[in-house]
């Protein structure tokens, strides 16, 4: 009896502490921050009025504020046309999205909807939703990306949803030190070019604790990127997590480089690809080096582990051996089921081959219960531990 009372008291104390902690965390996000509420600038939460000017006015005032500034979008349905939130700003900036934001059917910019550019110290958060309303887009081709982060230093993007984008949901471009977590991305599995998160020309980017279901790559890591870490991401439907594609543009050797990537503790369900490296079969040079995929669970995936140096989504393509070098790639503790017979496909360039591949503890079978197989072409490396399917390295 006494034990129980003590326990209950303990539980209550813990709960109170937890409430205090959560409260402190929320308060912390706003502490010393000046709030710039878009409604005070005339934004209307009626789901149809164009609030672009109000959003921009709130941002511009916040950007001039010498201190911590927070643009706040309260609950409600807002509509804005293409907007560029431009820095540099006087202090650190926050964009706290509590409501739901949508574009009109026809956007004034065919390539992007919401862009943050040249901001040092940016937080985008608030549990709100960016709804690209792709179904209302009159453009026959994939059009505006929903959220673009361009040349941001020190950014945190968390607790937001992006749904129904007209092109990629989010692009990180030319950024340094970005932390993304608790992000939900959703688009129909058959929607074209709706990459979840594209990361290009950026360094020190972490994506963690997020759920991505889309019609293209869940995450694509593109040229000129290094020190990129993905963990605890659920991907499906979609085309998996991709490095590349690389080698598409001529004379781009310095930019077609991806190094220092880790993908850890991720789950893929019902995707076309799992962990993929893709390069075009062109004479354009480049380098993919020092990647580790570890603790990867693949459930019912068409091509679970794949290096494709003949990437050609719309044949015919220029077919010369790829000039992109692939080196030091480790797959460690990868398990699950494949929807195709070939669970491990390492199809490397005849020109350079792939070097320094490591397969460690691979345990894959076919979805139908049969043994899977591996395919290697010009792939060089080592194997350790469990190997199912039997390796071809």
Ligand X SMILES: *[C@@H]1O[C@H](CO)[C@@H](O)[C@H](O)[C@H]1NC(C)=O
By the criterion CB under 6 A, which residues form the site for ligand X? Answer: 227, 260, 262, 290, 310, 345, 347, 375, 377
Catalytic residue among 131, 216, 302, 308: 216
Which residue is closest to ligand X by CB?
A: 260
Active site residue 273: no
**In the complex with ligand X, which residue's Cβ is closer, 122 or 228?**
228
Backbone φ and ψ for 195, nearest 5 degrees, come out as -45, 145
CB of 253 to ligand X, least distance (A): 19
CB of 345 to ligand X, least distance (A): 6
CB of 226 to ligand X, least distance (A): 7
CB of 292 to ligand X, least distance (A): 7
Dihedral sign for Cα atoms in the order 155, 156, 160, 161: positive
Catalytic residue among 131, 239, 299, 323: 239
Active site residue 81: no
Q: Tell me, what DSSP letter sits at residue 371?
A: B
Collapsed DSSP state (helix, strand, coil) of residue 1: coil
Report the alpha-carbon distance of residue 282 to residue 279 in Å, rounded: 8
How many Cβ atoms sit within 10 Å of the Cβ of residue 20? 11
**In the complex with ligand X, which residue's Cβ is closer, 193 or 377?**
377
Cα–Cα distances (Å) from 359 to 86, 320, 387, in that order, read 45, 28, 8
**In the complex with ligand X, which residue's Cβ is closer, 245 or 347?**
347
Any alpha helices (H) in the chain, and if so which ranges? 2-30, 52-64
**In the complex with ligand X, which residue's Cβ is closer, 64 or 254?**
254
Report the alpha-carbon distance of residue 134 to residue 117 in Å, rounded: 24
Q: Under a CB-based contact definition with an 8 Å cutoff, are residues 133 and 162 in contact?
A: no
**In the complex with ligand X, which residue's Cβ is closer, 86 or 351?**
351
The owner of tokens 């309260």 is 74
CB of 58 to ligand X, least distance (A): 38
For residue 299, the cross-strand partners are 269
Residues annotated as catalytic (active site), given as ranges:
216, 239
């Amino acid at each position: 009896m006494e034990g129980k009372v003590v326990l209950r008291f303990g539980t209550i104390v813990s709960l109170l502490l937890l409430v205090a902690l959560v409260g402190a965390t929320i308060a912390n996000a706003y502490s010393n921050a000046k709030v710039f509420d878009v409604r005070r600038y005339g934004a209307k939460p009626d789901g149809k009025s164009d609030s672009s000017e109000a959003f921009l006015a709130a941002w511009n005032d916040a950007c001039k504020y010498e201190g911590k500034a927070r643009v706040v979008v309260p609950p409600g349905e807002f509509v804005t046309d293409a907007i560029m939130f431009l820095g540099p700003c006087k202090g650190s900036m926050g964009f706290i999205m509590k409501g739901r934001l949508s574009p009109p059917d026809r956007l004034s910019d065919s390539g992007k909807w919401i862009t943050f550019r040249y901001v040092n110290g940016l937080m985008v958060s608030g549990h709100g939703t960016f709804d690209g309303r792709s179904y209302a887009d009159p453009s026959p081709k994939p059009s505006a990306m929903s959220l673009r982060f361009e040349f941001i230093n020190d950014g945190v993007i968390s607790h937001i949803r992006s749904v129904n984008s007209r092109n990629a949901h989010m692009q990180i471009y030319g950024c340094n030190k970005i932390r993304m977590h608790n992000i939900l991305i959703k688009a129909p599995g058959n929607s074209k070019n709706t990459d979840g998160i594209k990361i290009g020309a950026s360094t020190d980017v972490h994506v963690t604790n997020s759920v991505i279901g889309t019609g293209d790559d869940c995450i694509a890591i593109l040229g000129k990127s290094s020190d990129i870490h993905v963990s605890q991401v659920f991907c499906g439907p979609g085309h998996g997590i991709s490095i590349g594609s690389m080698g598409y543009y001529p004379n781009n050797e310095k930019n077609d480089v991806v190094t220092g990537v880790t993908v850890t503790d991720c789950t893929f369900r019902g995707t076309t690809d799992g962990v993929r490296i893709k390069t075009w079969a062109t004479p354009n040079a480049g380098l993919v080096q020092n990647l580790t995929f570890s603790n990867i669970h693949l459930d019912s995936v068409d091509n679970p582990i794949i290096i494709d140096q003949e990437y050609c989504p719309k044949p015919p393509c220029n077919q010369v051996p790829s000039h992109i070098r692939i080196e030091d790639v480790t797959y460690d503790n990868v398990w699950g089921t494949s929807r195709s017979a070939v669970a491990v496909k390492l199809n490397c360039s005849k020109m350079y081959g792939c070097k320094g591949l490591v397969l460690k503890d691979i345990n894959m079978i076919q979805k139908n219960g049969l043994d899977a197989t591996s395919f290697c072409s010009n792939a060089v490396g080592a194997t350790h531990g469990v190997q199912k399917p039997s390796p071809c390295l």
